[in-house]
């Protein structure tokens, strides 16, 4: 482990992981530090849309062009993270024709394949669309799993020698002789993989160049270095449906507004979103109106959403940025473009660059540009190869052959496992030991959980985002403890208990926004399971075990005698009948 690197990346979201991979592949020594899990900030809190660019084709054509370009790249290098669902911009009877025409023209101008569908054709593709559909534009939108993508980038960076530290919060930016020289981090449980029971440590990591890729948190890191980075965080809600009501990304074809997109995401569908500027990216209100609005407004597009089960809601914070002086008041009008802030030029502080703004779909392009910039600063001339080299898991897709027989799994479980693992399926799933399913809802087997633990230590939330275990309709009610069980005996009981509690609390955080109907029944059942049957809701304080009932003894005369257990003797066996301990008096 090295505390001296060429480049240090702060932030384990898509951009940070992308930069770490890019630089590591160019041969630089790299470290990445992240305060929580990978994807902890904004990346893990997005709707999973792989933009075709269609959404920006009218308002922001530069972004639209970048999107379609990167869309094509990601299909190649991250095929196991991407599902090419296709997308529709749906015009309802009352939606304006002009906008539809503008959208179509915009797509064509930006080289985004776009096809006009009649109402019938649109509803043939997506039968649950409302009968009020007038027509639709089909574009190559897709769905992408941001967790898997981020983890794959980090894994590949590590493969190329990068040091990846999660749960390592930057507590200071080291400025020496007017130059950034590295950062001080606080390891929550020591460096390396997370292990809840290890004590925290502090470390200085020195670097020739520090990259602040902390998105909505960029201002905080900037401040530690003494520079102003004015990010304008804007929150948006996402509501997760239990099943996929649509298999295509469905956008409402009208001017940008709240609640206008449904993204099929793995086994679920995600409804989004709102756009409200907030003060603090870590502390903002999560409000009922936002959840209700998603369901009410989007059921105009897909009516069954109104009755369908919602399993949770979550909020993400966009790291919007405007060059000083632009003065936009409505966050929806702020550009989605990204900005590279060279603090040497901007603030006369060499040794650090910040990246702000931007969007998930173009993370790789952003990473490439910033890596070019860093390489130029450090005098390295290596080429970027991230657009050509597939990510781990996406190398060889012939694995999608007869997977179910191969691993002895039931076909839907084998299919889902391979969809998640891609070309790693052979490595992960081949085992001679019994491989029971740990998470039934998402079809995650023990072998896959164990593989995730290999990668992320005792952190069950990290296991969750790698595997999707506990992300299905019971929201972990039936599998949080099974996942925790898989940590043992690698980790001791106090560690496992802490990891379990952290996972259960995290699940509840989103579940409480879906507490009605089946969601409330599920919560009540989960609560009874956890608090009654397992009684894990508290640690009982028992002063005197002997005060409690310790059973009856079947006396030789057939009568029963009451016993306490204070002075109970050891049991003996007598042909299957047992003699129980009894009180002497």
Binding residues for other proteins restricted to 418-477, rule: CB under 8 A: 433-438, 440-443, 446, 472-474, 477
x/- map, 252-281, other proteins, by CB under 8 A: ------------x--x--------------
Q: Does 493 bind other proteins (CB under 8 A)?
A: yes
Contact 202/187 with Cβ under 8 angstroms? Answer: yes
Contact 275/236 with Cβ under 8 angstroms? Answer: yes
Buried b (16+ CB within 10 A) or exposed e, 406-420: ebebeeebbebbbbb
The helix/strand/coil state of 57 is coil
Is the CB of 105 or the CB of 552 nearer to other proteins? 552
**Is the bond preceding 273 in cis, omega lying within 30 degrees of 0?**
yes
Is the CB of 199 or the CB of 559 nearer to other proteins? 559
Q: Which stretch binds other proteins (CB under 8 A): 127-135, 167-175, 196-204, 275-283?
A: 127-135
> Which residues, 6+ apart, have CB-to-CB distance to 333 below 8 Å?
none
Smallest gap from residue 256 Cβ to other proteins (A): 25
User: Which uninterrupted H or E stretch holds 288?
Assistant: helix 288-298
Q: Does 481 bind other proteins (CB under 8 A)?
A: yes
Between helix 480-487 and helix 460-467 the angle, nearest 10°, is 110
Please state, in angstroms and rounded to a whole number, the distance separating the CA atoms of residues 115 and 138: 5
Is the CB of 381 or the CB of 533 nearer to other proteins? 533
Is the CB of 108 or the CB of 410 nearer to other proteins? 410
Contact 577/554 with Cβ under 8 angstroms? Answer: yes
Residues 195-254 that bind other proteins (CB under 8 A): 242-245, 247
Smallest gap from residue 305 Cβ to other proteins (A): 10
**From the list 72, 105, 345, 516, which residue makes contact with other proteins (rule: CB under 8 A)?**
516
Smallest gap from residue 128 Cβ to other proteins (A): 7
Please state, in angstroms and rounded to a whole number, the distance separating the CA atoms of residues 213 and 19: 9
Q: Give the interface size with other proteins as a residue count (CB under 8 A).
A: 112
Q: Does 118 bind other proteins (CB under 8 A)?
A: no
Residues 287-306 that bind other proteins (CB under 8 A): 288, 292, 295, 299, 303-304, 306
Is the CB of 90 or the CB of 224 nearer to other proteins? 90
DSSP code, position 199? P
Is the CB of 63 or the CB of 245 nearer to other proteins? 245
**From the list 309, 346, 373, 377, which residue makes contact with other proteins (rule: CB under 8 A)?**
309
Please state, in angstroms and rounded to a whole number, the distance separating the CA atoms of residues 313 and 269: 12
DSSP code, position 532? I
x/- map, 27-66, other proteins, by CB under 8 A: ----------------------------------------
Please state, in angstroms and rounded to a whole number, the distance separating the CA atoms of residues 138 and 118: 10
Smallest gap from residue 72 Cβ to other proteins (A): 21
- Which residue, 484, 486, 511, 512, is CA-closest to 498? 484
Smallest gap from residue 433 Cβ to other proteins (A): 7
**From the list 130, 166, 317, 359, which residue makes contact with other proteins (rule: CB under 8 A)?**
130
Is the CB of 177 or the CB of 557 nearer to other proteins? 557
- Which residue, 180, 182, 203, is CA-closest to 341? 180
Residues 534-553 that bind other proteins (CB under 8 A): 534-543, 545-552
Is the CB of 22 or the CB of 511 nearer to other proteins? 511
Q: Which stretch binds other proteins (CB under 8 A): 54-62, 151-159, 346-354, 500-508?
A: 500-508
Residues 310-329 that bind other proteins (CB under 8 A): none
Smallest gap from residue 398 Cβ to other proteins (A): 18
**DSSP per position, 105-161:** HHHHHTT---EEEEHHHHHHHSTTS-TTEEEEEEE--EEE-HHHHHHHHHHHHHHTT
Smallest gap from residue 164 Cβ to other proteins (A): 29
**From the list 395, 492, 498, 583, which residue makes contact with other proteins (rule: CB under 8 A)?**
492
Please state, in angstroms and rounded to a whole number, the distance separating the CA atoms of residues 137 and 125: 12
CA distances from 465 to 44, 45, 58, 324 (A): 9, 11, 34, 36
Q: Does 556 bind other proteins (CB under 8 A)?
A: no
- For the record, the structure tokens of 324 come out as 């000083």
Residues 134-193 that bind other proteins (CB under 8 A): none
Smallest gap from residue 438 Cβ to other proteins (A): 5
Smallest gap from residue 148 Cβ to other proteins (A): 16
- Angle, vertex CA 356, rays to CA 350 and CA 358, nearest 5: 140
Q: Does 559 bind other proteins (CB under 8 A)?
A: no
User: Which uninterrupted H or E stretch holds 310?
Assistant: strand 310-321
Residues 348-407 that bind other proteins (CB under 8 A): 404
Beta-bridged to residue 210, according to DSSP, are 8, 352
Please state, in angstroms and rounded to a whole number, the distance separating the CA atoms of residues 384 and 355: 18
């Amino acid at each position: 482990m090295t505390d001296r690197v060429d480049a240090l990346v702060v932030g384990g979201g898509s951009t940070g992981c992308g930069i770490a991979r890019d630089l590591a592949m160019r041969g630089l020594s790299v470290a990445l530090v992240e305060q929580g899990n990978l994807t902890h900030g904004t990346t893990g809190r997005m709707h999973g849309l792989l933009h075709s660019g269609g959404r920006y084709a009218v308002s922001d054509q530069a972004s639209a062009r970048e999107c379609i370009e990167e869309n094509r790249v990601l299909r190649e290098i991250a095929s196991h993270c991407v599902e090419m669902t296709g997308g529709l911009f749906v015009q309802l009877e009352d939606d304006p024709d002009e906008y539809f025409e503008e959208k179509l023209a915009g797509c064509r101008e930006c080289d985004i394949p776009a096809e006009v569908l009649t109402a019938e054709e649109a509803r043939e593709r997506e039968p649950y669309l409302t009968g009020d559909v007038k027509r639709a534009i089909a574009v190559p939108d897709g769905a992408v799993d941001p967790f898997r993508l981020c983890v794959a980038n980090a894994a590949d960076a590590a493969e190329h020698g990068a040091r990846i530290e999660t749960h390592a919060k930057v507590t200071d930016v080291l400025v020496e002789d007017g130059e950034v020289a590295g950062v001080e981090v606080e390891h929550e449980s020591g460096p390396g993989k997370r292990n809840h029971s290890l004590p925290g440590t502090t470390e200085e990591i020195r670097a020739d160049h520090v990259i602040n890729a902390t998105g909505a948190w960029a201002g905080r890191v900037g401040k530690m270095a003494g520079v102003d980075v004015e990010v304008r965080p804007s929150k948006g809600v996402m509501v997760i449906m239990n099943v996929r009501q649509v298999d295509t990304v469905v956008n409402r074809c009208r001017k940008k507004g709240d609640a206008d997109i449904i993204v099929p995401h793995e086994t679920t569908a995600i409804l989004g979103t709102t756009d409200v500027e907030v003060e603090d990216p870590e502390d903002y209100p999560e409000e009922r109106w936002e959840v209700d609005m998603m369901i009410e407004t989007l059921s105009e597009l897909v009516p069954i959403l109104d009755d369908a089960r919602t399993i949770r809601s979550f909020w993400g914070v966009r790291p919007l940025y405007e060059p000083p002086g632009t003065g936009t008041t409505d966050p929806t009008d702020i550009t989605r473009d990204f900005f590279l802030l060279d603090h040497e030029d901007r603030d006369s502080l060499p040794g650090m660059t910040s990246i702000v703004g931007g969007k998930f779909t173009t993370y790789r392009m952003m990473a490439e540009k910033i890596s070019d910039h860093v390489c130029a600063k450090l005098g390295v001339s290596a080429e970027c190869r991230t657009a050509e080299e597939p990510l781990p898991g996406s190398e060889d897709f012939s694995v999608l052959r007869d997977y179910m027989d191969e691993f002895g799994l039931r076909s839907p479980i084998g299919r889902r496992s391979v969809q998640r693992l891609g070309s790693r399926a052979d490595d992960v799933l081949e085992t001679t030991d019994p491989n029971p399913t740990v998470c039934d809802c998402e079809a995650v087997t023990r072998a896959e959980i164990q593989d995730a633990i290999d990668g992320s230590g005792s952190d069950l939330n990290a296991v969750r985002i790698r595997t999707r275990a506990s992300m299905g309709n019971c929201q972990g009610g039936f599998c949080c403890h099974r996942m925790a069980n898989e940590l043992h005996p690698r980790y001791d009981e106090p560690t496992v208990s802490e990891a379990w509690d952290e996972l259960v609390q995290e699940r509840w955080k989103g579940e409480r926004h879906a507490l009605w109907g089946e969601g409330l029944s599920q919560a009540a059942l989960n609560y009874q399971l956890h608090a009654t049957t397992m009684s894990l809701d508290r640690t009982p304080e028992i002063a005197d075990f002997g005060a409690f009932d310790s059973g009856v003894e079947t006396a030789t005369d057939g009568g029963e005698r009451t016993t306490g257990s204070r002075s109970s003797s050891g049991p003996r066996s007598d042909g299957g009948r047992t003699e129980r301990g009894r009180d002497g008096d």
